[in-house]
Amino acid sequence: MSRHPQVSSQRREYSHGTLTQAQLLPCPIAQFESWLQQANDAQLQDATAMTVATVDAIGRPFQRMVLLKAVDEKGFVFFTNLGSRKAQQIQHNANVSLHFAWLPHDRQVIINGRAKALGKAENVAYFLSRPKASQLAAMASRQSRPISARRVLEEKYLELKQKFAQGGIEAPSFWGGFRIEPEQIEFWQGGEHRLHDRFIYQRAEPTQNWSIARYAP
């Protein structure tokens, strides 16, 4: 196996802080919101960006970056084209993993849970809240389908821009969101000498209280 020194030699110490169970809030959603607020206050770029991991019909995993659009006690929400690969994979297997990486704070959060489609009212409300350019882009792109060239996408966008120049845009039926209802949430804080702090909240049912346990890094 060939080695690339510029890759294998890269390392740094994680010295931003430590994490103890006493510092954790009883509810992982509240704990997540606290860390997210700290990331936003520090003006970390794309603090709401998360990796969404799904699997296809034969168990192959796929990952992509998506923006978190809402979070509350019910779960974590994102929106997409319902014909996209991730949406189709969720229909086959609703088990989803989310990953937030706030690297300047030496922090990660991993959420495992099940995806549930949002209702029409929530989909329409969010779509209409988007800038018009984003609405047009969503309509122009048949996400995850092959296209012959970028100009095909650009021409479709310009066609729609002209069509809706004087009026509003209705939410398309192929646009919608998913809420990931968490079953397990892990908080990871980088530590010196690679002695990181990991705590996992778990519950088997949405009506149960969360348990918290420390795990070896």
Q: What is the pLDDT of residues 70-85, one digit of tens each?
A: 999 999 999 999 999 9
Residues 85, 96: Cα–Cα separation, whole Å: 13
Structural domains counted in the chain: 1
Residues 177-189 have a mean pLDDT of 98
Residue 146: pLDDT over 90: no
Residue 1 has pLDDT above 60, yes or no: no
pLDDT classification of 14: cutoffs 50, 70, 90:
confident
Q: How confident is the model at residue 15 (pLDDT cuts 50, 70, 90)?
A: confident
Who's near 172: CB < 8 A, 6+ residues apart?
A: 127, 138, 139
State the average pLDDT over residues 180-188. Answer: 98
> How confident is the model at residue 105, as a pLDDT?
96
In a domain, 109, yes or no: yes
Is residue 55, in this structure, part of any structural domain at all?
yes
Range of the domain at 125: 14-130+172-215
In a domain, residue 92? The reply is yes
Residues designated as active site: 194
Task: Provide the pLDDT for residue 12.
Answer: 81
pLDDT, averaged across the chain: 93
The whole-number average pLDDT for the span 204-216 is 91
CATH code, domain carrying 98: 2.30.110.10
Average pLDDT over residues 153-178: 91
Residue 142 domain-assigned? no
pLDDT grade for 143, boundaries at 50, 70 and 90:
confident
Evaluate whether residue 68 is within a structural domain: yes
- Cβ atoms of 185 and 97 within 8 Å: the answer is no
- For range 32-53, the mean pLDDT: 98
Q: Which residues, other chains included, contact 112 with Cβ-Cβ below 8 Å and sequence gap of 6+?
A: 95, 96, 97, 98, 182, 183, 184, 185
Is 80 exceeded by the pLDDT of residue 43?
yes
Return the SS3 of 205: coil
- Answer whether residue 151 is part of any domain: no
- Give percent of the chain with pLDDT exceeding 70: 98
Label residue 2 by pLDDT band (50, 70, 90): low
